[in-house]
Amino acid sequence: MGVTLIMPFDDLRSFLLALEKQNELRRIPFEVDPYLEITEFADRAVKQNCPALLFEHPKASSVPLAINLFASMRRIEMAFGVSNVEEIAARIAGFLQMQKPEGLIDTLKMLPKLKEVSSAFPRTVNRGPCKEVILRDKLSLDKFPILHCWPGDGGRFITLPMVFSRNPETGKRNCGMYRMQVFDPTTTGMHWQKHKQGAEHYRRHVAKGEQVRMPVAVAIGADPATMFSAVLPLPPEIDEMLFAGFLRGKPVDMVKCETSDLEVPANAEIVLEGYVSSGELRREGPFGDHTGFYSLDDDYPVFHIECITHRKNPIYAATIVGPPPMEDFYMGKAIERIFLPLMRLQLPEVRDICMPAEGIFHNLILISIRKSYPGQARKVMHAIWGLGQAMFSKVIIVVDEDVDVQDVKEVAWKALNNIDPQRDIEFALGPIDSLDHSSRMPNYGSKMGVDATTKWQAEGFTRRWPSVITMSDDVKQRVDNLWKRAGLDRT
Ligand SMILES: Cc1cc2nc3c(=O)[nH]c(=O)nc-3n(C[C@H](O)[C@H](O)[C@H](O)COP(=O)(O)O)c2cc1C
Ligand SMILES: [Mn+2]
């Protein structure tokens, strides 16, 4: 069967329809409780490879809830209109190639790619479906089926928001996905962790003096490429909405907020407009988190909602995180694939990279390199510790290029054989992900790099290094036949 190329999606609902046509969406027509029950559904659904779920009647809400939209590679491919996420990586690699045209022919070949980029810039439009209903008073989050995810959670959390803010110094826009705990009908927490762009914008606002209100707008539910872009670990210089336009091959239409100069995707289902005031912090959490553990409660800024706009019949989009694999594992996997060409710009020796589900993104990075000089594995570790959000990488295992890092068993087998622990392990101190509960202090601790590559004389290794055992091809062929003769072939 061919792949449906209904690219780009105009909004969340057209994506849901496309999923449904491909049997990738199951409607749940009866009442299910956003308090824990939807989590149990969503958790089982990911682990049993079920379709995305659309709860048409969440208990105590007239707003349907969509979940697990990105909880399989197939659905992520559909979100981007590709048959394999590697196609996106290839487009990015092609775009990067563009920077070094060798001659006239190459320059001409570049033109379509330039067009691809120029047509990715977000457009400001005057109206959009997200403004079908505009509420300035009698505001309440209560009408939305916001999940209470896990029994030990501190409350209900908005789990799939696109949080928009601007850097007050540069005016640059950022969109990040940061969970929001509902404190009351018009206030929530704003869980942007220290290292994230939202937190940086907030620090810049706070630095301006006391009592400064920082405008923040939150969009919930949009076309899938735009939603996904909120998660991407892009450098601060790159606007997520530009990247979303590049991914979907069509500009993202942005519409101005009612109460601030921020802009939000015009096709959003729900928009919460408001502000975070400097200095105001409130206890947030605990929350059953990506790690599979509860992250502990802590102080975070407070978001005050001043205006809610939404479609006439909005759909609320959510996710849950918890013991792996969850939806976020698949999102992380797509990011791993999409960002490989970008990583190779800085680290050309990198062949492949894998973040196994159990490592919750950055707890375990398996990376294969083409080793050309002594100490290169260690250079790669340190480079990764210095590369954007990859700084959080807790354990990095570097192997030679003949190891398939997507095969965790092969990595374990070869790496464990190849290391002299005292010699090959490198510890470093540095920033740690805010969700890490084991580091000596919040946000600060140690990381470990394991050089599991073949050791060279030039690295002080003077013994001989053995090769991996393989059978010769002619013998394999002969035994293929004999195997059948012996009646051992069960295929
Ligand atoms: C479902 C989900 C929930 C997330 N929740 C948070 C969160 O609460 N706080 C946070 O700092 N990052 C959270 N993240 C990770 C950020 O979205 C991610 O690091 C993103 O790249 C941040 O963007 P920024 O660099 O523009 O700040 C979450 C990611 C996902 C997929
Ligand atoms: Mn960003």
Task: Give the model confidence (pLDDT) of 402-444 as tens digits.
Answer: 999 999 999 999 999 999 999 999 999 999 999 999 999 999 9
Residue 7: what pLDDT?
67
In ligand 1, the atom with minimum distance to the C-alpha of 388 is 25
Q: Say if ligand 1 is within 6 A of residue 68 CB.
A: no
Among the listed residues 269, 338, 326, 300, the one whose alpha carbon sits nearest the alpha carbon of residue 86: 338
Residue 104: what pLDDT?
65
Q: Say if ligand 1 is within 6 A of residue 193 CB.
A: yes
Cβ pair 68, 330 in contact under 8 A: no
| 65-67 vs 316-318, strand pairing mode | parallel
What's the 293 CA to ligand 2 centre distance in angstroms? Answer: 26
Residue having the nearest C-alpha atom to atom 20 of ligand 1: 231
Q: Considering Cα of 266, then 71, then 89, then 400, what sign does the dihedral take?
A: positive
Residue 1: what pLDDT?
39
In ligand 1, the atom with minimum distance to the C-alpha of 331 is 31
Among the listed residues 341, 335, 440, 430, the one whose alpha carbon sits nearest the alpha carbon of residue 391: 430
Cα–Cα distance measured from residue 198 to residue 204, given in angstroms and rounded to the nearest whole number: 10
Q: Which stretches in the chain have pLDDT values below 70?
A: 1-7, 99-112, 210
Global pTM value: 0.94
Active site residues: 289
What's the 407 CA to ligand 2 centre distance in angstroms? Answer: 31
In ligand 1, the atom with minimum distance to the C-alpha of 321 is 1
Residue 93: what pLDDT?
83
Residue 2: what pLDDT?
41
Per-chain mean pLDDT for the chain: 94
Q: What is the 3-state secondary structure (H, E, C) of 459-470?
A: HCCCCCCCCCCC
Three-class SS state of 325 = coil
What's the 177 CA to ligand 1 centre distance in angstroms? Answer: 4
Q: Say if ligand 1 is within 6 A of residue 67 CB.
A: no
Q: Identify which ligand lies nearest to the alpha carbon of 230.
A: 1
Residue 47: what pLDDT?
98
Q: Say if ligand 1 is within 6 A of residue 167 CB.
A: no
Q: What amino acid is encoded at 286 in this protein?
A: P
Q: Identify which ligand lies nearest to the alpha carbon of 243.
A: 2
Q: Identify which ligand lies nearest to the alpha carbon of 191.
A: 1
What's the 231 CA to ligand 1 centre distance in angstroms? Answer: 6
Q: Say if ligand 1 is within 6 A of residue 69 CB.
A: no
What's the 21 CA to ligand 1 centre distance in angstroms? Answer: 30
- The dihedral over CA atoms of 17, 21, 22, 23, expressed in degrees to the nearest 10, equals 90
